[in-house]
Structure 1
């Protein structure tokens, strides 16, 4: 959110170096200028961009139009890889596209989501019951993220800022969600299979990220037979530790292999 292609390039560099040379990446700036996301100005100078002006259905629609035009002009793309705000845009676009055009080919063959979720208003518009618990957690986690990712928090606490002030989800059991029922205020057991994103997906999130619930919830809207998840153990970030980078690279390769199998 409110980043630039330079930031995305640098943040993913460690695990991208471990991928085959045949992989090509196109880092895209959003169409709208903005101020920096919390703490980003410490590491990257302006300009900063965003994919939509506000997190409303109308603003998202404008973002979809821009993204679809970009894909038509510069694509096609085999996969989409996104972080934070990009996950909101890509996941909701995939869900809407599948709902409106169930017999059409998907926009992408695979998707890699990192530290992001699908907007609750999008789920509600698709007929999902969004409880007050889900709304409250969504609001409080966004506030906590702004506090923990702020410049002040970085300078004061460094990496220790993650996990302070909100739950640490490191002991949260993320397996078997599909059959459990209520998960962070959403009854995932009632999600129809035809609503779920059918392409292979990878979901990378951190147990110390205040937005952990959003990431985990979004994974439940993807077909579990072609879905992989990974908790990198950190916050709202892409850790550059060797073991984390190796795991993410392996998951990206798995996702692409699943998407291109039989071609």
Structure 2
């Protein structure tokens, strides 16, 4: 499915893949697709210091290698990106390091204040005083049994202006049907073009 998405987006997009470094058990739905014999990785372990470091590392990567039109994350990757977007100012960034964001089966980010106090807690939407204001794409499933309701809560942390929602039926997994992947590609293309036009950059061809 991800290969089809990159094919549909075409040569006008360049992808940087930021890999995790911590061996970690795979989600059941992921292991069902890719197998149980692989080694899977996380961006952090379950300590607050590790989560803070992962967000800092992502901010540093974006600063050193950007600018980036978009960040795209699945599940924990979406949570890490959201943790950074909500707290970029705490890391010395005056503006978000990405022009827009694509969240696929996104789960809740961590509460930064709790992390600084030595605790790992999920951020409740009610504690978000300033929502993410860059355009966002949310591709999620109502049949997500691994993290029910978290994608919807993540959506509420983003401004409705420029927000696109797509619902698929693959559970906590990347959409596998061709129609769902086609819709995701179109939503990404439209959102990136809207962002580029807003910032005075040339829109990508359709």
Report the TM range for the smaller structure's normalisation: 0.7 to 0.9
Q: 1:98 to 1:118 in 2, by over 3 A?
A: farther
Which protein is bigger by CA-based radius of gyration? 1
Residue of structure 1 in register with 2:98 after alignment: 108
Are residue 60 (structure 1) and residue 86 (structure 2) matched?
no
Partner residue of 1:241 out of 157, 174, 177: 177
TM-score by length of 1: 0.63
Q: 1:255 to 1:14 in 2, by over 3 A?
A: same
Q: Which moved more, 1:245-254 or 1:17-26?
A: 17-26
Please say if residues 30 and 173 of structure 2, whose CA atoms lie closer than 8 Å, have aligned partners that are also in contact. Answer: no
- 1:74-113 to 2 correspondences below 5 Å: 74-98=65-89, 104-113=94-103
Structure 2 CA distance for aligned equivalents of residues 30 and 186 of structure 1 = 26
- Corresponding residue SS for 1:236: coil
Please say if residues 64 and 93 of structure 1, whose CA atoms lie closer than 8 Å, have aligned partners that are also in contact. Answer: yes
Displacement, 1:105? 2.2
Q: 1:245 to 1:99 in 2, by over 3 A?
A: same
- 1:163-242 to 2 correspondences below 5 Å: 186-187=125-126, 192=129, 195-210=130-145, 211-242=147-178
CA displacement, residues 74-122 of structure 1 (integer Å, 9 cap, x when unaligned) = 33322100001101100011101156768x1211001000001223x51
- Corresponding residue SS for 1:78: strand
Displacement, 1:239? 2.0
- After superposition, the CA RMSD in angstroms is 2.7
When the two structures are aligned, how many residues end up with a matched partner? 190
Residue of structure 1 in register with 2:61 after alignment: 70
Q: 1:57 to 1:217 in 2, by over 3 A?
A: same
Residue of structure 2 in register with 1:18 after alignment: 8
Partner residue of 2:111 out of 122, 130, 144: 122
Structure 1 CA distance for aligned equivalents of residues 51 and 154 of structure 2 = 17
Structure 2 CA distance for aligned equivalents of residues 124 and 70 of structure 1 = 23
Unaligned runs of 5+ in 1: 1-10, 127-134, 139-184
Larger helix fraction of residues: 1
Structure 2 CA distance for aligned equivalents of residues 105 and 197 of structure 1 = 11
Structure 1 CA distance for aligned equivalents of residues 102 and 125 of structure 2 = 22
